[in-house]
Amino acid sequence: MQNMLFTDADQDVPSFRRVAADLGSLVGILYRSIEYGTLQNRTYFEVLSDGERPRSHVREMIVWDMAKRFLERNNFVVEEERLIVANEPLVALVLTWGDFQIRILKGRNGILPGCGRSRIRKRFYGQFPISYLDAAGRSRRTKLNLIFLWDFDSVFNLAKIWLVCPKSGGAGAADVTWFWHEEVPLPGIGSGTTPPAQPQSPESDVELEELLRESQEREEDEAGNA
């Protein structure tokens, strides 16, 4: 039986500063992958859809898919550790790198989304480790779960990114907790810079979140019945 990585003693959890130093250039790589995805999303709607406003139920999926392709094509190695991209369509972009498991999620205004009824996401938020095979075929076990949050600006470019160390999961955003939640300055932009206001409707984000939860719950049910 797997145990949680940390108890309630927050001092056992590495600080944001330490984790950011450990990740090094990986943060910039993840930023570039999401930026690439948002650019492809704009191209799709501006060029292929005659300038139609990006629809909430497809724009995030385009970003995730394009970001995943960017990471897979480049086959990144950071500090002699290869970045491994998991196959988890629609729901999130999931990565393992050394001691870390990372989920890339969209969080409107930096709000960490809830887990719905997803057991997988709740365990991730609760800091349960996973075992995986690295690029050399060796068995590894993660030591820290992290969330790389991102959001659009008013014209659907990449606006902000945050790095979050989750503590516990719950059905909705109000039910989740974290050890720390820090904004990461975008490359070339000072930490005091404020992106444009974001006229995105809360209803569109709720619609997307419900769609993704239903997809993941269906996949988990099918896996349990296999």
**Distance, C-alpha 177 to centroid of its chain:** 16
- At residue 177, the pLDDT reads 96
Query: Which residue carries 């995730």 as its tokens?
Result: 64
pTM for the complete prediction? 0.76
Q: Which residues pair with 78 in a beta bridge?
A: 81
Name the residue among 12, 18, 19, 7 with its Cα closest to residue 146: 19
Per-residue DSSP letter, 54: P
pLDDT (0 to 100) of residue 162: 96
The answer to whether the beta carbons of residues 129 and 123 sit under 8 Å apart is no
Alpha carbon distance 42, 47 (integer Å): 8
| Neighbouring C-alpha atoms within 13 Å toward the C-beta of 117 | 9
* Termini Cα distance of the chain: 21
Per-residue pLDDT of the chain (226 residues; tens, 9 = 90+): 344 555 555 558 999 999 999 998 899 999 999 999 999 988 888 887 776 776 776 888 888 889 988 888 887 776 567 788 876 655 578 889 999 999 999 998 999 999 988 898 999 999 999 999 888 888 999 999 999 999 998 888 899 999 999 999 999 999 999 999 999 987 654 433 333 333 344 444 454 455 555 555 555 554 444 4
Measured between alpha carbons, how far is 189 from 192 in angstroms, rounded to an integer?
A: 8
pLDDT of amino acid 225:
47
> What pLDDT sits at residue 78?
66
Would you list the domain boundaries of the chain? 10-225
